[in-house]
Every structure is written in C-alpha cells, then in structure tokens.
Amino acid sequence: MTSSTSLQPKITIVGYGSQGRAHALNLRDSGFDVTVGLRPGGPTEAKAQADGFVVKAPAEAVKDADLVAVLTPDMVQQKLYEDVLHANLKQGAVLLFAHGLNVHFDMIKPREDLDVILVAPKGPGALVRREYEIGRGVPCIYAVYQDKSGQAEQFALTYAGGLGGARANIIKTTFKEETETDLFGEQAVLCGGASSLVQAGFETLVEAGYQPEIAYYEVLHELKLIVDLFYEGGVTRMLEFISETAQYGDFVSGPRVIDASVKARMKDVLTDIQNGTFVRNWKAEYDAGLPNYKKFQQADKDHAIEKVGAELRAKMVWLQANTQNDAAKA
C-alpha cells in the first residue's frame, strides 16, 4: 500500500449495530471515506442510508476497501468471512475486528496476505459516539494478529484515533488477552456476576419477610450510585462517599460473601475460557438454535425483581425522560 493509503485508508464497516454506527459516524467525521456493508433489505440498511452513508451488499462493499471492519455479532462472523470476505477482500487489505473471539479461537483463519488487527473501544457504541461529538473520546485497546504490510500497528492506531480514542487513552494488547479478559469480565463480574449477586440479595431479603419494593431499592436501584463512584475514582472514591457504618460493613461482610471459594470458581470460569470450553459450548448452543439460551434469558426476565422493578421505575419520572430522549436521538 502507498503511504497515502496508510494515512487515509478507504474503510468499509460491515454491520451497523451500536458499535458499527458509532464507528462509521466517528470515522467519517474524522475525515475518512466510509462505506457500510449490509444485507440488502435488512433492518439497519435504511438507518445507515438515513445517516448519509453509501450502503452496499457486503461482497460489493469490501472489494475496493483498504480496511474492512467486521462489526457484526460474534456468532455470524465465521460464516460472513467464509462466504463473503475471504473471496472478496482485495489483496493486502486490512481486516479489523472489535473483539478477537473468532480469530483467537481459530473459527476464522484469515488469508495470509491480509493485515489482521483489533481495535476495541472500552464503552458501548452510544458512549463512543457521544464522547466524540463533545470533543472527547473513549479509551481504546488495540492488537495486531498478522502484520503482512509492516504497517498493521499504524493502521490500528490510525483507526483508534479516528474513533476518538487518542483523545483519551490507547493501550496495546493481544488478541488472546483482549478475548479472554473480555469474556471473563462479562461472565464473572459485569453481567453474570453482578446480575446473580443482585438476584440472590433480593431473594434473601424477600424470603426473610421484607417488602419486595424495599429489597429492590437496596440491592439494585442503589447499585448505580456505587458503580458511578467506582467509575469515577475506584474503590477509594466509593469509600470516601459512603458512611463509616457502610464502610465497616464492607470490610467485614464483603469477604464473607465473595470469599476464597468464589475466587476459586472464578478461576474455573477463566480456565473454561482459556481452554476453549466456553466457546465450544456457545457455538454448539448457537448452532442448535439457542434452546438453553432462550430458557435462561426468559428466566431472568421472569424473576420477581423484574416485575417489582418495572412498577417502581414507572414512577421515576427522570428515567422516563431519559428513555424518551434516547428514543428521539435514535
């Protein structure tokens, strides 16, 4: 590739969900030539066109692109690569992912002539876009899996800069580290761990005879206040803003709930991620039509805390206003 191409690659974004839309808009506003590749007649085609993008079928969209960013859901990426990208990516192009799962676990084996990189903003798409629009940025991590051109790292840094990541922080990682830590964080802490902890706390209080509404406020509603303090300044800031009574309870009871046995099970979760057990099980579940996934999802939606929460949130006028604003922006 020429030096001018390396500085201003022609980019195709495949996928137009939360991340895809944010990436496309930010990159275009940063001066890049951006095309969007989507299935004709699909649910996001009209949205991308309304945002002013040229939208083409993926096979056509990637043919002339210097850099192709794959921003579709994980479980459709292997088929997308095998059926569309492998044959249509031009020689020497850059193939970019925002999550390394398919490459790291060998579900996608990229052509040898390609540069293969990863750029992952550490925030949801709406935040990536919002922070860019107000002149800031969301931190990004990046990695190089295959460097055929000798410029792969520069492509990753250029792309991350176009998203606004250079305004915040950009950290180098590997496909292995990004994939395994991302899966672990989701499962053990952010999603699986947090939701199970909240549900167990709610059940404990209700089973002891306390009102469900009070239990909801104590174990779910107020969690946002604590998480915001974590986000702003870590555990130190949280301790600064809670009472001495709450601090003492933290010190003596936190380790009783999250004890050595919990950490041991976290290590088991990490082992299953590292050795591929989780991904094999997830792929088998997806290929089977998601029967267990749907049951688990419905069980969470049917949990008693969801019914109580919906009733209480309906009375929180500030939440309704936020929902309406988000809908208007969308």
Residues serving a catalytic function are 99
Cβ-based neighbours of 262, under 8 Å, separated by 6 or more: none
The DSSP bridge pattern shows strands 34-37 and 170-172 to be: unpaired
Burial (CB count <10 Å: 0-12, 13-18, 19+), residue 66: buried
For the stretch 303-309, contacts whose Cβ atoms lie closer than 8 Å and that sit 24 or more positions apart, written own/partner, are 303/199, 304/202, 304/203, 304/206, 304/212, 305/198, 305/199, 305/202, 305/212, 305/215, 305/216, 305/220, 308/212, 308/213, 308/215, 308/216, 309/216, 309/220, 309/221
User: Could you tell me which of 146, 128, 145 has the C-alpha nearest to residue 137?
Assistant: 128
Amino acid type, 96: L
Cβ burial 181-218 (10 Å sphere, 16+ → b, else e): ebbbeebbeeeebeeebbbebbeebbeeeeebeebbee
